Chains A and B, each alone.
Chain A
Amino acid sequence: MMLTKKTITEAMYNAIRLGATKMPPDIRAALQKALAEETDPMAKKHLEISLQNADMSEKGNGLVCADTGFPMFFVHAGKNTEVEGGFNTLQECAAEATARATAECFLRPTMVHPLTRKNPGDNVGPGMPKLELVFDRDDDGLEILAAPKGGGSEIFGTFYRMMFPADGEAGIKKFVIECIKDACYAGKVCPPAIIGVGIGGTADLCMSMAKKAALLRPIGKHHSDPEVARLEKELYEAARKIGIGPMGSRGINAVLAINLDAAVTHTAALPVAVNAQCLVGRRWIARIDGAGNIDYTGEIE
């Protein structure tokens, strides 16, 4: 059955509204674990208050964070999925959903022109909301993940370095651990952060891998390649020794997870990208089946 524009817009609107007002269950569990680990009173207070803030938001009082940031949608379609007006319609649906969520104060009007700084007031403009569509499912439905991504994590948690084969694994590790220290200084990215790292590919693919590793993977899940997973674990243990904890305080939990992804690259190159997600890891998923029924979940697979 053809999925209507109305159904898709409704699913996108609810996914981004829920993303802005609910904390995903795996993130909450990870923050509670971090709270139990920290001993410094300030480190504990940062986490206690952040969890209370999410509770208030879930009860209908406010937002998980007032910086609802960049509106992003990651869409997975199936080989038999049909969309009213064709797949080009998805961008229109995302714009409509974003504007509605902004008008209803679930999103802050944050997107502005980069040069004139003019704010259209609805978070919609060239390139925004950001929508990525991939065809990787077997069915006739759509999966939409909405991620309102805060400025702190994107602005202070984005790094790229083109290294060379001779720089090796030591170079990758040095770059990543220094990025984590810089990103977490004074709580810039709102730690404990989820650190996404892309290795290889082209510059844009490398950064895209880093972003998706930070945003789209459940806490605690490692990369399927054991060599990549080994690096994730080594870097995670090292990050816990820096001495920076929640919101930049003295503590252990600078990060909730370090997620790497890798792509083949030029034989002369070793590009590495880092992109951070903040402690509230906002994302919510809408799944539309072929009949147009919508389910929502904060659980990622």
Chain B
Amino acid sequence: MRNITLPLSEADAESLKLGEMVTVSGLLFTGRSRFHIRAIEDNIYPPIDYEKINCFFHVGPVMRQTEEGWEVVSCEPTSSIRFERYGADVVRKFRLRTLIGKTTMGPETAKALKEVRGVYLSKIGLSGNALRGQVKKVHDVYFLDELGKTECTWIYEVENFGPFFVAMDANGRNYFEELSAEANARMPEIEKMLNIPADYEYTEVNG
């Protein structure tokens, strides 16, 4: 399995194949809905060097404060599809070449990733405890008081972090959209198996 160095280079991004499993090493930042909404609607975002810390990890980790500083208890990638309304704008604004999350994102984010030559990596299984061990250092935290531990932005240094798989490549292809088309094509046969008439329609009461 390949290990990719962050920030992801254009050449590495283009070499990643749809469905390929990878790990990543380097610096990343975290965020969820509040990051997306605030960055685009209010132009409020953590003052970090986005060229250097260019990987956006969609997560609300469980964090514990110890005498030595913050430690990760568990960090499970969260459903990225929720951020689709702002996804493309965030990718363009920060020129993000790597997104890591759960599920996938929609066509607008795919288009933006293609423009910046970026990829979207999706989690494999529930892996929050293994991922925790691969976070080598919690470098910083932004907006902790305003947003709380779950929605704020953490800066992690990670090593062989993953595995994840390429769910959206730098050419705009989407693993799950292709898989979903296969599933949709099977539905008529499944409905037949369930004795649902081919021309079945629910009773319409709204005119």
Contact = CB atoms under 8 A, between A and B. Distances in A.
B203 A63 contact: no
B79 A188 contact: yes
Give the size category of B's interface with A. 35 or more
A62 B128 contact: yes
Contacts of B125: 45-50, 52-53, 246-247
Given A45-B21, A53-B126, A53-B128, A248 B176 contact: yes
Contacts of B103: 186-188, 248
B74 A42 contact: no
A66 B196 contact: no
A250 interface: yes
Interface in A239-261: 241-244, 246-250
Interface in A247-284: 247-250, 279-280
A26 B53 CA distance: 43
Contacts of A61: 129, 132
Interface stretch (B85-93, B109-117, B144-152): B144-152
Interface of chain B, helix or strand or loop or mixed?
Answer: mixed
Given A48-B125, A243-B182, A170 B200 contact: yes
A186 B104 contact: yes
Contacts of B126: 49-50, 53-54, 64-65, 190, 279-280
Contacts of A243: 179, 182-183, 186
A105 B64 contact: yes
B200 A121 contact: no
Nearest to B76: A66
A174 interface: yes
Nearest to A280: B126
Contacts of B167: 186
Interface string B174-207: 0010011011101101110111110010110100
A212 interface: no
Minimum-distance CB pairs A-B, first 10: A49-B125, A62-B129, A66-B76, A66-B74, A119-B148, A50-B125, A186-B103, A186-B176, A56-B129, A66-B128
6 contacts: A42-B165, A66-B73, A110-B60, A110-B150, A241-B189, A247-B124
